[in-house]
Amino acid sequence: MRRIIFNVLLIILAFTIQNCIFPLLPFLSAAPNLLLILTFSFGFIYGKEAGMYYGLLSGLLMDLFYSGPFGFYTLIFIFMGYMNGICTRYYYEDYITLPLILSVLNELAYNLYIYVFRFLIRQKLRIGFYFINLVLPEIIFTVVTTLLLYRLFLIMNRRLEEIEKRGDSTIV
């Protein structure tokens, strides 16, 4: 239970940093997508169901903050949580390569989703400009941030699991 509460608070903190602090930093041409990192990490570590729940929370926060059709971000975040939950069977905590590959693939899927349903529908066909000026810098920032945050998140996750195990053993 502590882990779930901690993860929800982590998502809310990531949402706050992503939407309130990163836009104020003038030297960032693009900002890392912290909610995407957390959603795919939760899905990758905990499985499909947990990935979908955390994706639902992340998507709802994005939908409440940004205008447009309600459920737009929720749909992509739930999908990403589920798809990364499928990769749970390939999960090894010490290897960072699969999370980095998943980070790149998720960022590409997310930005392609945004492009198709926000720009392409309005007949803005400059995908090269969109990819080079918006997607590529965001992918680079997200991958670098994933390198830092994923290890930190794993360490916190291990500590919370140890606390839960100690709490369970004192009851019995």
Q: How many domains does the chain have?
A: 1
Residue 123 banded pLDDT, cuts 50, 70, 90: confident
pTM: 0.88
Domain range for residue 7?
2-171
Calculate mean pLDDT across residues 153-170: 80
Helices and strands (DSSP H and E) totals, the chain:
7, 0
Neighbours of 145 (CB within 10 A): 17
CATH assignment of the domain containing 128: 1.10.1760
Backbone φ/ψ region at 105: left (φ over 0), alpha (ψ -120 to 50), beta: alpha
Q: Give the pLDDT of residue 170.
A: 59
pLDDT digits (tens, 9 = 90+) for 63-98: 999 878 899 999 999 999 999 998 877 767 667 888
Q: Give the pLDDT of residue 94.
A: 67
If 0-12 CB within 10 Å is exposed, 13-18 middle and 19+ buried, where does residue 129 land?
A: exposed
Which is more confidently placed, 24 or 56?
56
